[in-house]
Structure 1
Amino acid sequence: MTHHALRTVMLAGALLAMASAALAQTRNPPQPTRPAPAATAPARPPAAEDASAVKSGEVIARVGDSDVTAEEVRATLQLLDARQQAAMAHDPALLSQTVRAILANRLVLREASAKKWEQQPAVVAQLARARESLIVETYLQSVTAPPDSFPSEAEIKSVYDANAGALLVPRRFRLAQILVSVAKDADKATEDTARKKLDDVVRKLKQAGADFAAIARSSSEDTASAEKEGEIGWVTEPDLRTEIRGQVTGLPKAGVTDPIRLEDGWHVLKLLDTEAAHSRPLAEVRDALVQRMRAERIEANRRAYVAELLKQSPPVVNEIALSKLLEAKPEAAPSR
């Protein structure tokens, strides 16, 4: 295996771990009555935004006497999955972390090479297996990839129609809320204070011409929604808490629920709008369907190709020896 190929294999593991860790740190926990953020189409990494702006051989970074070129950064980014690439597009700092990870790997590789680490018997064996796996994987990719014309528009439409049920978007509700905070294990005095405030809110809401938005601004203890006149946005029906769903689904537009007790306090919600359940249009899911269809075709082609090879050259396995191998205890390492 060449030094360049070895660097690529090493970088892949480090960068995938780095990207996953960075994504985990920035992920926010869902709120009980708020909608999950809508999925967005994967974006290209920043390094690929304008391919003509940076030449492939241009040096992006350097450590010691080792350069990292734009071509190497782009190649490394292609090893990341679509979600990780999208994260980099939305947070350029992640791209800088990626380049720094490449530089760190270069330093480690230089240290290892100076000590001839690649000549260690265990490393030689692992490199041989990695080389074999890389050859097998890239060859299978080349012989099992479907033509660019697959799938046809008719095939896409057929799969879309067959999976219409799975593409159904459930009913959604646009909600606003007023929250009177009080923990379920609060003492009696705290509970009484919260209850008095709740009664005052309910009294104001029942007055003729009551302005829910104004009351939310002045009384709600959910500061994030209070700044937006109590609005918490769109929530799909399955995402609603059972206690809330029971009241919201029966409300007319602009209707207000009775106070609902949850772990964090009393919630009073207003239904601002409703969106009926509907199937996602083909144009919206076409790219995802194409990716899935091509992936399934590749997997089917791969199974068929390998099955044909095995048919032409049937393997012979000594099952008795194999069972003994599994039963045998590993030899103890020699004492030092």
Structure 2
Amino acid sequence: MRLLRVILLPLACAISQAQDAGLVIGSIGGIEMRKDEILESLGGLGTVEKEALARDPAALNKLLRSMLVQRVIYQQAVEVKWDQEPAIQPLIKSTREAAITDSYLKHISRPPEGYPDETELRKAYEASRTELTVPRSFRLAQIFITAGSDQQLAEVKKRLKADPAGFGRIAREMSEEKESAAREGEIGWLTERQVQPEIFEQLPKLSLNVVSEPVRLKDGWHILKVLDVREPFTPIFDQVRVQLAQRLRAEKIRVGMQAYVAETLQKHPVAINEVALSKLLQEVPTRDSALKP
């Protein structure tokens, strides 16, 4: 019995790990993306990049959405044999070469995992305090009515006048910007630099939880409510250490790539026949003409 347990326990563990690896994390149009595929895609990230994603679930969510959209469009292209179009073959080749070259350059230019150390991070923080300062920010909610929907706008104004405290409910039921409507009109925090000038003009006139008059923009009418205000502030070191580490590593990689390219050019000087090159362009068919039936 003990021998059977010794055999079955590792087997059960292996089965569990296989099932976990096959866990569906996201899907689109019948296409599923599993845990092992995502881990494989993220495998090339360094410690700093992984920490950044771990601290910002929204960024990881956005990355997965982008991967899913790319996957479904890719499948559509393959179904119509777009990848087999003669005019696409050079593009596939050049894209492959560019991807390999770029990833190789980044790999050989990547600084050690311990870079930047605490001293370098602290120094970068002190040098960047002004740049890191977050301007005054507003947590806003809105009811949006598209241009031309005069009857809808009139109904919203009527309901707000009768029940100013019901802004969230009215936004959920009548706002035509569905994403914020699902959150009772809330669009989140925006710095004063991110707010459109026509809207920003209204904000100083608004006290907290006071509803604005409709503001007309190109896309339609925006009825605003300020939920909270945050004065300018500089984040403390721990709040931006990952961001600083990412920036310093990216700069180190950029400098390393430039140095490697410069060294390569020294070892292998480029020679170009300018006369032949100028004539060559006249013989190259455009991609659109190559794809015409």
TM-score normalised to the size of structure 2?
0.53
| Aligned mate of 1:144, from 101, 106, 109 | 109
Judged with a 3 Å threshold, the aligned counterparts in structure 2 of structure 1 residues 193 and 168 are, in CA distance, closer, same or farther, namely closer
Q: What are the equivalent positions in structure 2 for 1:234-249 lying under 5 Å apart?
A: 234-249=189-204
Residue of structure 2 in register with 1:213 after alignment: 165
Judged with a 3 Å threshold, the aligned counterparts in structure 2 of structure 1 residues 280 and 240 are, in CA distance, closer, same or farther, namely same
Residue of structure 1 in register with 2:237 after alignment: 282
- Counterpart amino acid of 1:259? E
Judged with a 3 Å threshold, the aligned counterparts in structure 2 of structure 1 residues 224 and 322 are, in CA distance, closer, same or farther, namely same
1:302 aligns with 2:252: no
User: Structure 1, residues 211-236: CA drift from partner, whole Å, max 9, x if none?
Assistant: 8425x478x56637899888765443
Query: Deviation at 1:159?
Result: 2.8
Query: Deviation at 1:276?
Result: 0.5
Unaligned runs of 5+ in 1: 1-50, 62-68, 205-210
% identical aligned pairs: 33
Query: Deviation at 1:142?
Result: 4.3
Query: Deviation at 1:165?
Result: 3.6
CA distance in 2, matches of 1:85, 1:196: 39
Contact 1:248 1:257 in 2 (8 A): no
Contact 1:172 1:274 in 2 (8 A): yes
User: Structure 1, residues 173-207: CA drift from partner, whole Å, max 9, x if none?
Assistant: 34567x69796684xxx699769948x92xx7xxx
Residue of structure 1 in register with 2:213 after alignment: 259
Structure showing greater radius of gyration is 1
Residue of structure 1 in register with 2:173 after alignment: 223
Residue of structure 2 in register with 1:157 after alignment: 122
Contact 1:244 1:260 in 2 (8 A): no
- Counterpart amino acid of 2:61? A
Contact 2:145 2:153 in 1 (8 A): no
RMSD: 5.9
Alignment partner of 1:274: what SS? strand
CA distance in 2, matches of 1:282, 1:157: 8
User: Structure 1, residues 89-108: CA drift from partner, whole Å, max 9, x if none?
Assistant: 689x959x969x89x98x99
Alignment partner of 1:279: what SS? coil
1:75 aligns with 2:60: no
CA distance in 1, matches of 2:131, 2:121: 15
Contact 2:212 2:225 in 1 (8 A): no
Judged with a 3 Å threshold, the aligned counterparts in structure 2 of structure 1 residues 239 and 292 are, in CA distance, closer, same or farther, namely closer
Residue of structure 2 in register with 1:321 after alignment: 276
Higher share of residues assigned helix: 2
CA distance in 2, matches of 1:171, 1:275: 6
CA distance in 1, matches of 2:91, 2:144: 61
- Counterpart amino acid of 2:165? A
Contact 1:181 1:221 in 2 (8 A): no
Contact 1:181 1:266 in 2 (8 A): yes
Number of paired residues? 244
Q: What are the equivalent positions in structure 2 for 1:74-223 lying under 5 Å apart?
A: 74-76=39-41, 78=43, 85-87=60-62, 94=68, 136-137=101-102, 139-174=104-139, 186=150, 197=158, 201=161, 212-213=164-165, 216=167, 220=170, 223=173
Judged with a 3 Å threshold, the aligned counterparts in structure 2 of structure 1 residues 299 and 71 are, in CA distance, closer, same or farther, namely same
CA distance in 2, matches of 1:70, 1:162: 40
Judged with a 3 Å threshold, the aligned counterparts in structure 2 of structure 1 residues 52 and 261 are, in CA distance, closer, same or farther, namely same
TM-score normalised to the size of structure 1?
0.48
Contact 1:151 1:294 in 2 (8 A): yes
Judged with a 3 Å threshold, the aligned counterparts in structure 2 of structure 1 residues 144 and 325 are, in CA distance, closer, same or farther, namely same
User: Structure 1, residues 146-169: CA drift from partner, whole Å, max 9, x if none?
Assistant: 222222222223333333343332
Judged with a 3 Å threshold, the aligned counterparts in structure 2 of structure 1 residues 171 and 323 are, in CA distance, closer, same or farther, namely same
CA distance in 2, matches of 1:223, 1:326: 58
- Counterpart amino acid of 1:156? L
CA distance in 2, matches of 1:294, 1:180: 42
Alignment partner of 1:249: what SS? helix
Residue of structure 1 in register with 2:17 after alignment: 54
Judged with a 3 Å threshold, the aligned counterparts in structure 2 of structure 1 residues 171 and 78 are, in CA distance, closer, same or farther, namely same
Judged with a 3 Å threshold, the aligned counterparts in structure 2 of structure 1 residues 98 and 275 are, in CA distance, closer, same or farther, namely same
1:312 aligns with 2:267: yes
Query: Deviation at 1:88?
Result: 6.9
Unaligned runs of 5+ in 2: 1-13, 25-33, 176-180
